[in-house]
A and B are shown apart, each in its own frame.
Chain A
Amino acid sequence: MATQAKSHELIVSVSPHVRGKETVERIMWTVNLSLLPAVIMSIYYFGPRAAYVTGLCIVSCVLFEHLYWKFLDRKTTVGDGSAFLTGLLLAMNLPPSVPFYIPLIGSLVAMVITKLLFGGLGYNVFNPALIGRAFLLISFPKLMTIWSEPTAKFIAMDAKTTATPLGILKEEGLTQLIEVFGSKAELYKGLLYGNIAGSLGETSAIALLVGAAILFMKRYITWHIPLSYIATVGVLAWAFGGDQGLFSGDPLIHILSGGLILGAFFMATDYVTCPTVRKGQIIFGIGCGAITMLIRLKGGFPEGVMFAILLMNCFAPLIDRSIKPKMFGAVKETKEQEK
């Protein structure tokens, strides 16, 4: 009679029944790990200050999530690594010279308002780290745009402040930007290695690409969003970014500078806030690219990646809604069948 007693355990849940090793925890911690090269590069270029800001962001994000669930008397979810990831991404989006309360306020907005109030991981409409940064940029525009020059000597405490490459490009033009770096090759080298002013994690394109390669190999992200995003930015920069008429722009500068690599591989691909259908993801990427270039070339801000991803986050449910995948074996309904 053992079967009868345990019969309630025989109720079969809905599909899928095949189980893999992949869990939310595993994916989140792998993403955290894949950001490690970028973190190391940021500490190398911006000194102990970078480690301090990164640590503060991570600790406060994890702490806010833990306190929130404790306050609600629910099981804490800090173990899944998503709070850690939000803190890490928020830190990568901050300039190295911010005072201590900036990461704290950013973490509060990112974790509690953007993620937890909406129901926690899986329900947030926006990328938490990006909302945290957008909130900070609008509330503290001065503090959030002081970019210190990278020193690579581990003594960046009183570093010189300077403008980011995109800032120079916007204010003074391409010739001035090349002059600052000496030559075009030096400029590309600076953008690739990260020896430029900017947010902590966005400067070194190579370190970010190494991390992105890990995610591709683990198949945690697909090519749809990053490729369509970066290709759109490249084409638009080539077509409209030059000052000698159409198709004279330099796509590489726009692709490598700013937060594009970080945004396209690590933030636009967030499972929760992007469309789930493949075709929708391509539309999402193209939209991100178009808005990014619109803001970079015509807008009031030098950098548009953050706002572009946030705006497309708004549209993600709409994209999902309008592109429903075809059901297997489904036949298009005709007028006669409806009657």
Chain B
Amino acid sequence: MDFTKLFELVVSSALINNFVFTMFLGLCIFFGVSKKMETAVGMSITFTAVMVVSAALSWVVYTFIMVPLDLTFLKIIIFIGIVAAFVQSADTIMKKVSPSLYYKLGVYLALITTNCIIIAVPLKNAGEHYNFFESMAFGLGSGLGFGLALIIMASIREKLEVADVPAPFKGLPISFILAGLIALAFTGFSGLITL
């Protein structure tokens, strides 16, 4: 196992090719839950966990079922099914096993099912032919990157609450401008690691 490659995958998917700031994916959750720090942190934890597990599950299904049976053209539908099934079962199990954790993080699970980063990661893993550990590293990096984006955004938006923003730009519009400016800063990382 090549640890340098895994480490590079995590860093590159978290910072250099951050899904939110370089590919502008997952924006609905990004703007939806970044209003308060508390929800942003909860979402980041849940998101990263779901991302790693669903990347691993999709890799197993893709390599051992879809490739031998020549079903790779169905990958979008199958990956959505896998993620949805996993999230739903996690939801149910968590409710039964640990109600306190469920009340903290359960609300985010339903939102995650239909997120576009969650489906982008297995698709990219399949496209790049990553092995099992690389897939998980990519999932972990993408999750951490999304969490980082959420937490930065929440910390700035909480500060902006008191700012004298002109009325037409209050709320979501100024957040979009803010996301654009952060993305501008993140271009500084471009070219750091070329995989």
Contact = CB atoms under 8 A, between A and B. Distances in A.
Interface stretch (B110-118, B125-133, B181-189): B181-189
B152 A318 contact: yes
Interface residues of A, number: 33
Does more than half of chain A's interface fall in helix, strand or loop, or is it mixed? helix
Contacts of A123: 160, 163-165
12 contacts: A123-B160, A126-B185, A134-B184, A135-B184, A294-B192, A295-B188, A295-B192, A299-B188, A299-B192, A314-B156, A321-B37, A321-B155
Interface in B163-195: 163-166, 169, 174, 177-178, 181-182, 184-193
A101 B58 CA distance: 51
Interface string A315-327: 1011001000000
Contacts of B166: 72, 117
B159 interface: yes
Interface residues of B, number: 28
Given A118-B165, A123-B164, A300-B190, A317 B185 contact: no
B87 interface: no
B151 interface: yes
A123 B174 CA distance: 12
Contacts of A318: 151-152, 155
Contacts of B192: 294-295, 298-300
B38 interface: no
A301 B16 CA distance: 13
Between A298, A300, A314, the greatest number of chain B beta carbons within 10 A of the residue's beta carbon is seen for A314
B10 to A, nearest CB: 16
A308 B189 CA distance: 9
Contacts of B163: 118-119, 123
